[in-house]
Amino acid sequence: MARRGSYAKGVAKREEILERALEVVAREGYRGASVKEIAEAVGLSQAGLLHYFDSKEELFTEILRKRDEHDGDEFRTDAPGAARAAYLRVIRHNVQTPGLVELFSRLAVEAADPAHPAHAYFLERTTELRAQLAQQADEFSGIRDVPPETLARIVQAVTDGLQLQWLLDRTVDMAGTVEALFAILDDARATQDGKDD
């Protein structure tokens, strides 16, 4: 991967910075986290940190990517019928890392601009996640007249929307509400199964 030693060292340092930044944001919250704050937490000056990233926005995008990596390692499952449970575990874990939820939501809005460094990241992430959900047809879909992609989009929208509600009011039960949605989807499917046209 690395073409030269110095390049490889740069990559390693980048990873080290991201791991540390991820931890800091998760633990201490976002609070309009400036580059300077993260730099100090990581043990660098502001300019020193930006040596490894093109901009603040790119740094934050990479922090979110790193989180996805960790979540994938920790929660991904191939066990049949376990997709919902894994999904809910991620949501419950998010409650432990409010700073990352805030960073995610904030960047999701800012990335609306196609020129934003996180624009591609969010498009890819959202598309991939939707494909995963739609693929678990047995668990997430099976309702006639409503395509799996639309069901996946609804589950995704509820999750993102609940994060906004939860950021505003920490007593909101994100996982419980998503579970309620799953129950509703099951009921709707049962209705459809009963029909015969």
47-76 footprint of DNA as x/- string (CB under 7 A): xx-xxx-xxxx-------------------
Residue 169 binds which entry of DNA, its own copies, none, CB below 5-8 Å type-dependent:
its own copies
Spatial distance between the Cα atoms of 71 and 96, rounded to a whole number of angstroms:
13
- Least separation in angstroms between residue 59's CB and DNA is 8
Task: Determine the interface stretch with its own copies among 8-16, 42-50, 58-66, 160-168 (rule: CB under 8 A).
Answer: 160-168
Q: Is the separation of the CB atoms in 179 and 194 below 8 Å?
A: no
CA angle in degrees (0–180, nearest 5) for 129-132-136 = 145
- What CA–CA distances, in Å, run from 179 to 30, 87, 127, 175? 28, 10, 22, 6
Instruction: Identify the residue among 4, 80, 114, 197 touching DNA (CB under 7 A).
Output: 4
Residue 45 binds which entry of its own copies, DNA, none, CB below 5-8 Å type-dependent:
DNA
Tokens of 4: 């030269």
Nearest to 161 by CA among 116, 101, 97: 101
28 near DNA (CB under 7 A): no
Spatial distance between the Cα atoms of 83 and 139, rounded to a whole number of angstroms:
7
Q: Which residues bind its own copies (CB under 8 A)?
A: 31, 102, 105-106, 108-113, 119, 122-123, 126, 143, 145-146, 150-151, 153-154, 156-162, 164-165, 167-169, 172, 177, 180-181, 183-185, 187-188, 190-192, 194
